[in-house]
Amino acid sequence: MARHQSYKKLCGKSLQKYLLLFYKAFCRMSRMTPIELAVELAGGQSALARAIGGDVKQAHVWYWLQKGVVPAEHCGAIETATGGKVTREELRPDVFGPLPVPESVPQQAAWHIRKQQQGG
């Protein structure tokens, strides 16, 4: 059994979700934006542009990185391209609303996550 598969078996889905949420919170603390995280997960600007498809080119992704805003019509494609690791709510909370915090997250962590979402 591959190391990654055995890790998945040991962790369970709730722990995996918690770890992903923690990783996202860490990225926010280090000032990594959701579009920067999407580019990293995709393997670069060109790879993300190809994954989005349509008429999106690397230059579009570069522009989004510079401005910090992704057009709402591309958020769903980015969510799909990253396997849901970067959500449309994270990319455009002004359009899709803030990301809900799961009840299984410890209260202290949930407070920090909500504070980050509010821009604090």
Domain ranges within the chain, ordered by starting residue? 13-21+29-117
pLDDT, tens only, 55-89: 999 999 999 999 989 999 999 999 999 999 999 99
Largest CA distance in the chain: 44
Q: Which one-letter amino acid corresponds to residue 30?
A: S
pLDDT, tens only, 10-55: 555 667 777 777 776 766 666 788 999 999 999 999 999 999 998 9
Query: Phi and psi (nearest 5°) for 83?
Result: 65, 30
* Residues 45 and 61 sit within 8 Å (Cβ to Cβ): yes
CA distance 89 to 70: 11
Domain 13-21+29-117 of CATH type 1.10.260.40: yes
* Residues 93 and 63 sit within 8 Å (Cβ to Cβ): no
Residue with tokens 């280090």: 30
Whole-model pTM: value is: 0.61
Query: Phi and psi (nearest 5°) for 76?
Result: -65, -40
3-state secondary structure of 43: coil
